[in-house]
Amino acid sequence: MVTIKGPALFIAQFIGDKAPFNDLKSIAEWAGSLGYKGLQLPTGDARFIDLQKAAESKTYADEIKGIVNAAGLEITELSTHIQGQLVAVNPVYDDLFDGFAPEAYRKNPKARQEWAVQQVKYAAKASQNLGLAASVTFSGAFAWPFMYPWPQRPAGMVDAAFTELAKRWTPILNYYDEQGIDLCYEIHAGEDLHDGVTYEMFLEKVNNHSRANLLYDPSHFVLQCLDYLEYIDIYHERIKMMHVKDAEFNPTGRQGVYGGYQNWIDRAGRFRSLGDGQVDFKSIFSKLAQYDFPGWAVLEWECALKHPEDGAREGAQFIKDHIIHVTDRVFDDFAASGIDASLNNKILGI
């Protein structure tokens, strides 16, 4: 059995222009002071990691790793959420998602996609140079604007969307395989991969690619009323990464899953700091320990109410308290009667 590693912190929501949130060394030391053992790094800000340089230079990757190690932490994984989103964009979102790309690639969907694909590939090589095992991304989406079947979807439209999605991701997955890195899709609203069914549809299209794996985040499943514990039972062999994030869903006579176009603070479903929501983390950590989850317990902090620094401080202890130090022996070994093949045969009458 494997003890889950952690606690670790995804720093994307904490990056800013003021110390200690404006460079890698300072934010690593701050996280270490809170009790974190690992950092998950976004890859869109060169103050923290120059992704292309980390892919092309093992020396630079070692320097980045050394900065984090000097603070008593490890780099857990790299994130390409923003870049992965741009691998597949429905034109209705072109203007909104242009802001995710450098200015040189805006108003040019083809060039933007090519940039995004290269960025995600850089993350594979950079992960290898850093000695990591997995990386997280978003799938992007063609069909999401048509999630609700009204007006009626044209026959074959969804299949065509997933065929194209697989066509774009298969070469990337092959490259990840060449680098020995698992690519973990965060199952998330706004993506074509937003629940188990859509993940299976994609998996079929990429021929069950061994590197097309999952990041598990129960908060997104609370907001869509999906059984997040059974999800682990179904997909545990594919779950290689984890975000520890809380959420709550409180429907009323006025509002449910769709949220009524409200801001986060007024939505029936919203993300919360660890311990303030409804997620059953004791059962989650038990199931992941049962299935020998190989990765890190990484806090992704998002909350419409609590200050992020309070959430980070409380989150480190919360995760530490929930990680199960797995046993190295069977609890009833004290009552063992020993191994005797002849006695076994006698008892069984064989």
Please state the rounded mean pLDDT for residues 137-160.
97
Confidence bin at 262 (pLDDT 50/70/90):
very high
Q: Residue 86 in contact with residue 100, Cβ under 8 Å?
A: yes
- Distance between CA 206 and CA 169 in Å, rounded? 8
Predicted confidence (pLDDT) at residue 337 exceeds the cutoff of 90:
no
| The amino acid at 208 | N
Residues of the chain above pLDDT 70, percent: 99
Residues of the chain above pLDDT 90, percent: 94
Tally of CA atoms within 13 A in the half-sphere of 171 that contains its CB: 9
Rg, the chain, Cα only: 22
Q: Residue 81 in contact with residue 136, Cβ under 8 Å?
A: yes
Place of tokens 């952690």: 6
Tell which wins on pLDDT, 337 or 77. 77
Place of tokens 């108003």: 107
Output the DSSP codes for 3-19. PPEEEEEE-GGG--SST
Predicted confidence (pLDDT) at residue 330 exceeds the cutoff of 90:
no
pLDDT of residue 334: 67
Q: pLDDT digit string (tens) for 307-323?
A: 999 999 999 999 999 99
Predicted confidence (pLDDT) at residue 347 exceeds the cutoff of 80:
yes
pLDDT of residue 336: 73
pLDDT of residue 332: 74
Q: Residue 303 in contact with residue 245, Cβ under 8 Å?
A: no
Which one, of 222, 203, 224, 330, lies nearest residue 284 by Cα? 222
Q: Is 153 exposed, middle or buried (0-12, 13-18, 19+ CB in 10 A)?
A: middle
| pTM (global) more than 0.85 | yes
Q: Residue 192 in contact with residue 161, Cβ under 8 Å?
A: yes
Predicted confidence (pLDDT) at residue 252 exceeds the cutoff of 90:
yes
Place of tokens 């976004």: 42
Which one, of 259, 262, 288, lies nearest residue 6 by Cα? 288
Output the DSSP codes for 171-234. HHHHHHHHHT-EEEEEP-TTSS--SHHHHHHHHHHTTT-TTEEEEE-HHHHHTTT--HHHHHHH
Predicted confidence (pLDDT) at residue 198 exceeds the cutoff of 70:
yes
pLDDT of residue 333: 73
Confidence bin at 125 (pLDDT 50/70/90):
very high
Please state the rounded mean pLDDT for residues 16-31.
98
Predicted confidence (pLDDT) at residue 162 exceeds the cutoff of 80:
yes
Q: At 286, is the secondary structure helix, strand, or coil?
A: helix
pLDDT of residue 341: 87
pLDDT of residue 346: 87
Q: Residue 90 in contact with residue 109, Cβ under 8 Å?
A: no
